[in-house]
Copies of this chain bind each other. A is one copy, B any other.
Amino acid sequence: MTKQRLVAAIDIGGTNTVFGLVDVNGKILLKETVSTEHFPIPEDLVAVVCEHIKRAMLQFVDTSELVGAGIGAPNGNYFKGTIEFAPNLKWEGVVPLAKLFSERLLIKTVLTNDANAAAIGEMMFGGAKGMRDFIFITLGTGLGSGIVANGEMILGHDSFAGEIGHVIMFADGRQCGCGRKGCLETYCSATGIKRTYSDLLMSNHDKANLQARVADAKYIYDKAISGDKDAIEAFNYTGDLLGLALANSVAYTSPEAIFLFGGLAMAGDFIFKPTIESFERNLLNIYKNKIKILPSQLNENDSAILGAASLILKELN
């Protein structure tokens, strides 16, 4: 009997590392979580994760074989298999993470930036199945992106392509964590809409400081549902700018569709309606009415692990 092929999928986050076993159809057979922050030395995290994976494989040993590992990580360099100077991780400098995993698991291991991995997940198991040209946007704490063109992930000469969140929208705009001003993600992200909502509260109402401080994206969504004008305006402002940025993005790679993923994308019409309106209004004529803006079809809880799995599955195909 032919053994079933399984891959190990590892998603390194600033807070947690999620990992597991996935089959070629995207079925998740194992999913576990460890705290990334508890491992100041990357080798220690690798040892623990590999131990879990090997132990889990024991129960499948008669029917399955582990054929590869995929890793999604912030500032992941696909060409080198390294994490490089990731601002959200405690690990400093350049960490050869793919090599560390490969040496312990003795299987082919590939690594890429987390948004790129999620984009490949969308292509393999989500709404981008069969698409050769699309853009994947994650609206989380920041704005991450993965660009697929001609059926391939655009990596760039250094593997750091696809940083649409750091396109400068206003030369003298909001301060960004990257050190520059006016980056798209300072407006269009969970953090961005929170700031927009706070600004609106403070300019439209007196003494709203306290309320402004406690607001998060989910809170703003709940307020919008209840009809709160400031909350709705915050979504409209965010969508208006996101639509413009996505219209500009089309001028680069003319995708068939753009997928929105992450907390902010869960707000449904509150975010999609103003985004699509602004998008169509700002598109060059030749692109109008033919490019779809769609919610990601990946389950939010599984996207990271499916993305990492897709990365190695695509490689092995």
Contact = CB atoms under 8 A, between A and B. Distances in A.
A166 interface: yes
A154 interface: yes
A181 to B, nearest CB: 10
Interface string A245-264: 00111011111100000000
Interface in A154-184: 154-164, 166-168, 171, 178-180
Contacts of A284: 163, 166, 178, 180
Interface string A137-161: 0000000000101101011111111
A290 interface: yes
B132 A167 contact: no
Copies in the complex: 2
Contact of A150 (B155, B248, B249): B155
A75 B249 CA distance: 19
Contacts of A147: 252-253
Interface of A: 75, 84-85, 131-133, 147, 149-150, 152, 154-164, 166-168, 171, 178-180, 244, 247-249, 251-256, 282, 284-287, 290-291
Given A164-B252, A171-B244, 12 more contacts: A75-B286, A133-B157, A147-B252, A149-B156, A154-B252, A155-B254, A157-B256, A163-B251, A166-B284, A168-B282, A179-B285, A180-B282
